[in-house]
Amino acid sequence: MSEIIRPPFTRETALKKVKVAERAWNTRNPPHISLSYTPDTIWRNRDTFLQGREEVVKFLTKKWEREHFYVLRKELFAFTDDKIAVQFFYEWNEKADGSGQWFRTYGLEVISPLRTAALFVDSDIFLL
């Protein structure tokens, strides 16, 4: 069974929490990923606002219908004893066979144990 990493965070535990989240996201399993967030999590992804795990599952399911060959990297950006800021980037292709345009998306996420407020300030750039 997985260890639950709770505050107060040290550099070591913050780094571990970030890598655990990275591994979860790279499964591309929305129900599994949603369990990494609080039941009342609040997300903003560009112009989309989500609240709760059920909305997260729906959002991620739809996301991966159009983002193929998805690979994510998360890095610790900053932390305090009760919050973690994460810088992330991921690459994906618009076509299921990999023949389409490649994109890189990047942004920031803030993780708090009381409520995960995932503020995805992200942008897509074309990869040549």
- Multiple choice CATH, 11-127, 3.40.50.300, 3.40.50.450, 3.40.50.1240, 3.10.450.50: 3.10.450.50
- Specify the DSSP element, H or E, that contains 30: helix 30-34
- The full set of domain ranges for the chain reads 11-127
Asked if 118 and 86 count as a contact pair (C-beta separation under 8 A), the reply is no
| CA pair distance 51, 82, nearest whole angstrom | 21
Residue-level pLDDT at 126: 60
* pLDDT at position 93 over 80: yes
Q: What is the pLDDT of residues 7-43, one digit of tens each?
A: 999 999 999 999 999 999 999 999 999 988 888 888 8
Residue-level pLDDT at 125: 61
Percent share of the chain, pLDDT over 90? 66
Average pLDDT, integer, range 92-101? 96
| CA pair distance 104, 91, nearest whole angstrom | 4
Asked if 106 and 123 count as a contact pair (C-beta separation under 8 A), the reply is yes
